[in-house]
Chain A
Amino acid sequence: MSKLSVNHLLGIKNLQKEDIELIFKTADHFKEVINRPIKKVPSLRDITIANLFFENSTRTKLSFEIAEKRLSADVLNFSSSNSSVKKGETLIDTVNNILSMKVDMVVMRHPNPGAANFLSKHVKAKIVNAGDGAHEHPTQALLDAFSIREKYGDIKGKNIVIVGDILHSRVALSNIFCLQKLGANVKVCGPLTLMPKHITSLGVEVITNLKEALNWCDVAIMLRIQLERQDIKLFPSLREYTMLYGIDKELLDSLDKKITIMHPGPINRGVEITSDVADSNQSIILNQVENGVAIRMAVLYLLAGQIE
């Protein structure tokens, strides 16, 4: 297979397993490229990419921007806080205005689930979803799976638990789709108030006891508590959450085997994991960030190759 089966990267749900493998194979080469003395290749020199961020982001935005620049694309940055969106412009109008400036691809983060999907049906450009509400965050799931593959060689048969705020997490949903497509066993762990209603219909089991979950898994993906998305209180206090669902060094050392700790960032140090866990040799959090650039280069490269 030499091209993706999709024209946009809207979510992991509509990707084939072969698509994911093609992205990984391409990312392997880009990982080599970004470790060269000159980390830049001219592949996308005739492509213009707009990064539209209607919601705050540091890591994802920087990662996309650096990936685009390493591919020699021209980059336009836009964030809604200082734009005409505040004056009442609709999403399609905003994007069409930007596309009139001859933009070939759009990377978009938006607070509304389905925003990227909606956009792909109404504008002529390749769309890459950089997170839409609590729906999907495909590049994060790809880089997580890529990092697990790098650490263990293969994802098939690995036990992976996603811990924390599953309800508000687009990372959790994309990760469940991605890891299951690659043959991993996925479970989720957290307080029941932070679990979506029909989560088990995705074929994942819910565990409420953290230690039991950690003893089962090879890899634990820790999620941030998204206080900004909680309209009502879903647990009594952060302190109580940390006591029940936070990982500290003591807990990590008490497990039967050495597990790998991942976190999509930003970390709330001392809430979901303590500093000594985040900085320990079992954590691959910074590898995830490096792999994020390679994965995003691969996605942009493959999609750009399909522009007519």
Chain B
Amino acid sequence: MDKIGRIILDDVQFNLTIKRLAHQLIENYNDFSNTVIIGLQPRGVFLAERIKSELLKINPSFNIQSGSLDTTFYRDDYRRQGNPLIPNKTNLDFSLEDKKIVLVDDVLYTGRTIRSGLDALLAFGRPKTVALLVLINRRYKRHLPIQADYIGKNVHSIDTERVIVSWKETDKKDEVILYTPKNE
């Protein structure tokens, strides 16, 4: 099926958005003591790392703990996809007991990944608070009552559309594109 792509965030807007998100975090977390920024595998990890380096640019004295979390073993669609889901690496070598967590993902859509992420977090202790930060919030199609606390951009999209976030790290450029199927 042919599809039409529309850029929602270009390179400049993309990086401005990350800067704004970083500043918003500082408003609420001060010096980031007792705070952990956790990126959800696979693509939330890039955003978490970007946010972290942005924060360090703003204030190099911040001592920010960060990690990555894989939710594969906690997902509710395991065995509903025909093949086993192949996991990614979890990199959290400290306890999350009583920590303030900022959970980071690239796109919030149905909310199921975040649900599994919340479950996965609990295996590392009982956090004090958990906030959710996403680059793109696809509204109206939530399957679960989950909302983000920090949003890069809201996107109104329908089921058949797809949002693709590209990262310099793997895709050579920073960009968010909304693909709409072309009607023949």
Contacts and interface: CB of A to CB of B under 8 A. Distances in A.
Interface of A: 2-3, 25-26, 29, 32-33, 36-38, 40-43, 46, 301-302, 304-307
Contacts of B122: 38
B90 A32 contact: yes
Given A42-B73, A42-B74, A26 B95 contact: no
B90 A29 contact: yes
Contact of B73 (A41, A302, A306): A41
Interface of B: 70, 72-74, 78-79, 83-90, 95, 119, 122-125
B contact face: mostly helix, strand, loop, or mixed = loop
A37 B79 contact: no
Nearest to B73: A41
Contact of A40 (B84, B123, B124): B123
A302 B85 CA distance: 8
Nearest to A301: B84
Contact of A3 (B70, B83, B88): B83
B84 A306 contact: yes
A26 B83 contact: no
Given A43-B78, A305-B78, A37 B83 contact: no
Contact of A42 (B87, B88, B89, B119): B119
Contacts of A29: 70, 72-73, 87-90
A41 B119 CA distance: 9
B17 to A, nearest CB: 32
B79 A305 contact: yes
A41 B76 CA distance: 12
A304 B84 contact: yes
Nearest to A303: B84
A41 B79 contact: no
